[in-house]
Structure 1
Amino acid sequence: MNVSDLVARYPYLFHMAERDTWSSIKAKGLLSTTAALDLYQVNGGARQTLERGHRPQKVTVGPAGDAIVLRDQIPMAPDRLEVALIDGTTPGEWYELLNGKVFMWAEEARLHRLLKARYYRHLEHDVLTIDAAKLMKVHAERVWLCPMNSGNTFPVPHRRGRDIFQRIDKYPTRATSGRPQKEVVEVVVDYSIPDIADFVVEVRRMQGDQVLHDIAL
């Protein structure tokens, strides 16, 4: 796939963040778990647990008033990952792989599906809408595309390995039309997007699939 076809098909990308985190994201950028741990110099056993272990609930890192919430990994229990992983990658290695990346949905329907999921539909979130073309002009070489929800194993632990992530120019397309063989589900960036505010066109406070109000950029 080429970048122009990608942004034509998915002109906006979507990121579901914790409630009241837009101001922090605007200041610090959109950080992966690994980037957040680096920022607050979390090391040793605590880092090992957060980076390579399963998080059944949210974890807060950093000082009071300037902390970052690491999202839970409820849909990615280790026993289910053991069934899903097919390339020799261990659950711990999978957590570490995903913790080193920033994730965005390629389609709003996928965002709504997550917002309405059982564990999240009662919560409020700050939802970022991102201009894909502007993002790709700066970060295309750091982008991976994925045809599935890499962090979910419900209701079925679909088979997966490291090769589900492909660089844009390696993502399989149909020879006749240039369309993707499988629709892109996740657009992923390595480590962090420090300048994410440059690409965000809208921030909405949402609960489930309902917009509660817009948040000033």
Structure 2
Amino acid sequence: MTGDERERLLTTRRPRAVRLHHPEHGTAWLRDQRPLNPAALGRMLDPGSGFGVADYLRRINGCAFLWADPARLRRLHALPRYADTEHVVLTVDTASLLAAHGDRALVTRINSGAALFARGRRGPDTFLPVDRVPSSWRPVEVAVPGGVRDLLAHLVDTPAVPERSG
């Protein structure tokens, strides 16, 4: 992947899933960002945050995301646009993950990649470090900037991975 391709993936909305291939590690898919409307997102950004749309996208696209609520994940997979798609769901030991990556882990109480309508605000307080999350929050996502290179060490079990064409 060229630097320009990487920059585009980090700073622009993905209207469809993007296939990535690595000669040693194989194939991975970046989920589409159809529920993200850049114009609506622009209106949702906190004016004092200093974030533009590309900045916000760089922030979320530079993270590995984990859903904190299995029921919300099931609702996402049941949406018509994803109902016919194979999904591999990895169950992660949260205590193990946070012991290893808690200094980088961020929590949000919203689906940070959903911005279809200009409701709610986005800005510096969208993501908080784990140790600053108010007890009143019900976390929706855990985000780890830079990814989780040792994810296998934190899995509760290892599912069979279906092949995906495309």
Band of TM-score, shorter chain = 0.7 to 0.9
Which is greater in Rg? 1
More strand by share: 1
Amino acid at match of 1:53: T
Asked if structure 2 preserves the Cα contact closer than 8 Å seen for 1:103 and 1:188, the reply is: yes
CA distance in 2, matches of 1:80, 1:118: 22
CA distance in 2, matches of 1:183, 1:109: 13
**Structure 2 segments unaligned to the other structure (5+ residues):** 162-166
Determine which structure has greater relative contact order: mean sequence separation of CA pairs < 8 Å that are 6+ residues apart, divided by chain length.
1
1:190 aligns with 2:161: no
Look up the match of 1:31.
none
- The CA RMSD over aligned residues, in Å, is 2.1
SS at match of 1:62: strand
Over 3 Å counting, the alpha-carbon distance change for 1:120 and 1:203 in structure 2 is farther
1:135 aligns with 2:90: no
SS at match of 1:198: helix
- Provide TM-score, normalisation by structure 1: 0.66
Look up the match of 1:98.
60
CA distance in 2, matches of 1:157, 1:203: 37
Asked if structure 1 preserves the Cα contact closer than 8 Å seen for 2:40 and 2:117, the reply is: no
Look up the match of 2:35.
75
Asked if structure 1 preserves the Cα contact closer than 8 Å seen for 2:41 and 2:118, the reply is: no
How far the C-alpha of 1:138 sits from its partner, in A, is 1.4
SS at match of 1:202: coil
Give 1:32-47 correspondences, 5 Å limit: 41-44=1-4, 46-47=5-6
Select which of 81, 87, 109 maps to 1:125. 87
**Structure 1 segments unaligned to the other structure (5+ residues):** 1-40, 173-179, 205-214
How far the C-alpha of 1:191 sits from its partner, in A, is 0.7
SS at match of 1:115: helix
Look up the match of 1:114.
76
How far the C-alpha of 1:144 sits from its partner, in A, is 0.6
How far the C-alpha of 1:63 sits from its partner, in A, is 5.3
How far the C-alpha of 1:85 sits from its partner, in A, is 1.2
Give % identity: 32
Asked if structure 1 preserves the Cα contact closer than 8 Å seen for 2:108 and 2:141, the reply is: yes
Select which of 59, 66, 83 maps to 2:18. 59
How far the C-alpha of 1:60 sits from its partner, in A, is 2.0
SS at match of 2:102: helix
Residues 57-111 of structure 1 show CA distances to partners (whole Å, capped at 9, x for unaligned) of 1122335793332221101121121121123411111110111111111111111
The number of residues matched between the two structures is: 158
Look up the match of 1:201.
156
CA distance in 2, matches of 1:48, 1:168: 28
